[in-house]
Amino acid sequence: MASVICQTLGRGVTRSKRRAQQYLRQAAENGYAMAHLELAHSMYMDLPYSREVGHVGRAAGVTLSAGVMEGHDVPPDILTGVVHWLLKGCATGELLEHLNSFRREALVGAQYCRNEGCEVVGPLKDFKVCPQCKMARYCGAACQNEDWTTGGHKASCGSVAFEKVDPATSA
C-alpha cells in the first residue's frame, strides 16, 4: 500500500520504512481514504515508524468506551490515534469491524522489526523493544545492532526521550 501512495504522490517507490510512513500520513491528511485505513492499520500493528509518524496527540473528539478498548493489546493513546484515522477513512459503523480485524491479524503476526533490511514476520510479542526509547522493535540482537550502527536509530533514539514526561521534573 505504501508503494502505491508513493507512486500516487509522484515520489517513486521508497525503500525507507520511515519515509513510506511519512508519505502515507501525507496522503491521509490530503483525504486519501485508503491511506487513513492503512495508517490506522500500521499504527495498530506497530509497524516500524508508524506510531511515531501517525501519532495525533490528543485526537479531537475521539473518546473510547471500555467496550471498544476491551481485548486490544495496544496502549490507549495509540488506540485513540488508530480510531482517529479510522473515523476519517470509514463509516462509524465499520469502526469495530476494522478494530476486530486488526486484533485478529495482530495475533497472527506481521513485519515489526525496525531494521530496514529485515523481513522477519511474527507476532508482536516475539519482537523485543528498544530499552531506551521503548518505540523501536527488533527480531533479535543482530538487527538491533545493525540498526543502531548503520540504520540511524542511534541518532533518533535519544530524540524520542524528550517526549516522555518525567514526573520528578514536571510540576
Say how far residue 115 (Cα) sits from the centre of its chain: 15
The domain of 133 spans 111-171
Q: How far is it, in rounded angstroms, from Cα 3 to Cα 119?
A: 16
Interval 38-50: pLDDT, tens? 888 888 887 778 8
**How far, in Å, are 15, 115, 130, 159, 162 from residue 156 at the CA level?**
18, 13, 12, 5, 11
Is residue 59 located within the same domain as residue 47? Answer: yes
Q: What percent of the chain has pLDDT over 90?
A: 9
Q: Of 93, 108, 123, which one is at a domain's C-terminal end?
A: 108
- Higher pLDDT: 92 or 79? It is 79
Q: Which residues are paired to 167 by β-bridges?
A: none
Is residue 37 located within the same domain as residue 90? Answer: yes
Interval 100-153: pLDDT, tens? 888 888 777 778 899 988 989 888 778 888 888 777 889 999 999 999 999 888
Is residue 125 located within the same domain as residue 58? Answer: no
Q: Is the pTM of the predicted complex or chain greater than 0.75?
A: no
pLDDT at 170: 41
